[in-house]
Homo-oligomer: A and B are copies of this chain.
């Protein structure tokens, strides 16, 4: 029982700081009415998550036009110690059409995959949920949170 962990909720600013420091995460969206997930690298710029993708991709189709609500998750959880953190942001994702703005973001987020990531996506963190997995005896500022 000693290796069971508690979830401690993170304040919004700490959750966003962890997300900003992480260089990759997973974008979650709906593709043909089914849940879809895709690992991707990101940057956190002026309070928004910035990612790049292909115009022809499922993700670009999902958020094309007026935009779409997506979730974005980053984590660093050690399966051996069973400790770490996870942050989930939920918010409206929109393609960035303005060429000047797009070009600025392109300079800040280099695609890892060698393909034409010709779209820039900006996600507004409307809802931020973050927690740490901590050992039961560990003291943390925030109180325990039911899973």
Contact = CB atoms under 8 A, between A and B. Distances in A.
Given A34-B71, A36-B71, A39-B77, A114 B5 contact: yes
Nearest to A36: B71
Q: How many copies of this chain does the complex contain? A: 2
Interface residues on A, range: 35 or more
A79 B76 CA distance: 12
A41 B70 CA distance: 23
A57 B111 contact: no
A112 B4 CA distance: 5
Interface of A: 1, 3-7, 22-24, 26, 28-30, 34-39, 41, 54, 57, 69-71, 73, 75, 77, 79, 82, 86, 88, 90, 111-115, 117, 133, 136, 146-147
